[in-house]
Amino acid sequence: MEPPDPVAFVFGATGYVGQAVVEVAARTADVARVIAHARPDSPRADELTALASDRIMVDRTPLEVGSLSATLTASNPSHVFLCHGTTAHRARQEGIPAPYEAVDLGLTQLILEAVDAMATPPRIVYLSAIGASPRARGAYLSARWRAEEAVRASGLPFTICRAPLLGGPDRTESRPLETVARTVADPLLAALGAVGLTRLRDRLSSMDATEAAEGMVRSAFHYMTINRVVESDELRRVGVYERERWAPESRRDTPRH
Ligand SMILES: NC(=O)c1ccc[n+]([C@@H]2O[C@H](COP(=O)([O-])OP(=O)(O)OC[C@H]3O[C@@H](n4cnc5c(N)ncnc54)[C@H](OP(=O)(O)O)[C@@H]3O)[C@@H](O)[C@H]2O)c1
C-alpha cells in the first residue's frame, strides 16, 4: 500500500525559522499539506494567517497535551518540525522564570508526549543549536542538549538540525547582540575559509532563515539523515542531498498501535 502523502506540522511557525520552514515545505513538491501552529496568544499569529492557502493551514491548538494529541491524531502528519524557543528578553516580557527549561526543553517534552498518542509515528525534525552537548555550559545550551536527548529517547524517528547563529536583513525583530556577532564573526570566518579552514567557516558562519529552513526540509525527507544530528555545515546549500535519493520509506515507520 502506498504511504499517505507527506504532511508537515510545524511548531513555532510564527518564528523567524518556523515561518520559513512553512514556506519552504509548502513549495516542496513532495509535501501535500503544511499545518502551521501558532500558540493561541501568539503576538505574531496574524502574519502567519496571511500565509494560509490551499497548502498551508494555520492551527491554534492550545499547548496542552490532550488538545495537541487530538489535533495531531486528526491531521496525522508524517513530519513534525519543532522550531519553537524563547529568548531571555521575550521570557522577561512574558514573566516566564527559567525560560529555557520551560519553553526550549519543556515545550519539546510536551509535544513529544502529544505525538506519542499517534498511531503512526511521524519523523521529528528538531531545530537545535551548535554547541548543544552534554558538557555545554549555560542554561540555553544545556536545555537544548536535554531537549535533543528527549527527542532521541522518544523512540520516534528523528533528525536534529544544529543551526549556527540565525539572522539576516529579513529578521524583523531587533536583535542587536546577534547582529553585532554576525557582523564581526562572518568576515573573520570568511577570511579563515579563504586560507583553507573551510570546515570551520561552514560550521560557524551565520545563516538566514530560508537557508536553515531549506536545510531542515531537505534533511527531513532524506534517508541518510534519519536518527542523527545534522550539523550546521550540512544544513547549508551544499547540494549534497539530490532529490533522486529521496526515499519515502525513511520518513515514517509502520504503525505501532
Ligand atoms: N537565533 C539563533 O541564532 C539560533 C541559533 C540556533 C538555534 N536557535 C534556536 O531556534 C529557535 C528558533 O529560532 P528563531 O530565530 O526562529 O526564533 P523566534 O523567531 O524567536 O521564534 C521562536 C518561536 O517560538 C515560539 N515561542 C516563543 N516563546 C514561546 C512560549 N513561551 N511558548 C510557546 N512558544 C513560544 C514563538 O512563538 P510566538 O511568535 O507566539 O512568540 C515562535 O514561534 C530558537 O528559539 C533557538 O533556540 C536559534
Query: DSSP letter at 4?
Result: P
Q: How far is the CA of 21 from the centre of ligand 1 (A)?
A: 13
d(CA 146, CA 164) in angstroms, rounded, equals 18
Is residue 197, in this structure, part of any structural domain at all?
Answer: yes
Looking from the CA of residue 18, the nearest atom of ligand 1 is 16
pLDDT in tens, 95-150: 999 999 999 999 999 999 999 999 999 999 999 999 999 999 899 999 999 999 99
pLDDT in tens, 168-207: 888 888 888 888 888 899 999 999 999 999 889 999 999 9
How confident is residue 45, by pLDDT bands cut at 50, 70 and 90? Answer: very high
Residue nearest to atom 7 of ligand 1 (CA): 129
Split into its structural domains, the chain has a count of 2
Residue 145: other Cβ atoms inside 10 A: 19
pLDDT at 238 over 80: no
Q: How far is the CA of 95 from the centre of ligand 1 (A)?
A: 16
Same-domain status, 14 and 69: yes
pLDDT in tens, 74-90: 999 999 999 999 999 99
d(CA 13, CA 87) in angstroms, rounded, equals 16
CATH number where 68 lies: 3.40.50.720
Is residue 255, in this structure, part of any structural domain at all?
Answer: no
Q: Which domain holds residue 161?
A: 7-166+207-250
Residue nearest to atom 13 of ligand 1 (CA): 17
Looking from the CA of residue 85, the nearest atom of ligand 1 is 45
Q: Which three cell numbers stand for residue 43?
A: 503576538
Is residue 185, in this structure, part of any structural domain at all?
Answer: yes
Residue 233: other Cβ atoms inside 10 A: 19
Is residue 1, in this structure, part of any structural domain at all?
Answer: no
d(CA 217, CA 81) in angstroms, rounded, equals 9
Predicted pLDDT at 1 = 56
Same-domain status, 124 and 215: yes
pLDDT at 240 over 50: no
Residue nearest to atom 20 of ligand 1 (CA): 15
Element (H, E) at 94: helix 88-94
Predicted pLDDT at 244 = 41
Is residue 257, in this structure, part of any structural domain at all?
Answer: no
Instruction: Specify the pTM.
Output: 0.91
What is the per-residue DSSP string for 182-227?
A: HHHHHHHHHHHHHTT-HHHHHHHS-B-HHHHHHHHHHHHT-GGGTT
Residue nearest to atom 29 of ligand 1 (CA): 86
How confident is residue 243, by pLDDT bands cut at 50, 70 and 90? Answer: very low
Q: How far is the CA of 12 from the centre of ligand 1 (A)?
A: 6
d(CA 108, CA 130) in angstroms, rounded, equals 18
pLDDT at 242 over 90: no
pLDDT at 246 over 80: no
pLDDT at 4 over 90: no
* pLDDT > 90 in the chain, percent: 77
Same-domain status, 196 and 246: no
pLDDT in tens, 208-225: 999 999 999 999 999 899
Predicted pLDDT at 5 = 83
Is residue 256, in this structure, part of any structural domain at all?
Answer: no
Predicted pLDDT at 175 = 85
219 in Cβ contact with 225 (< 8 Å): yes
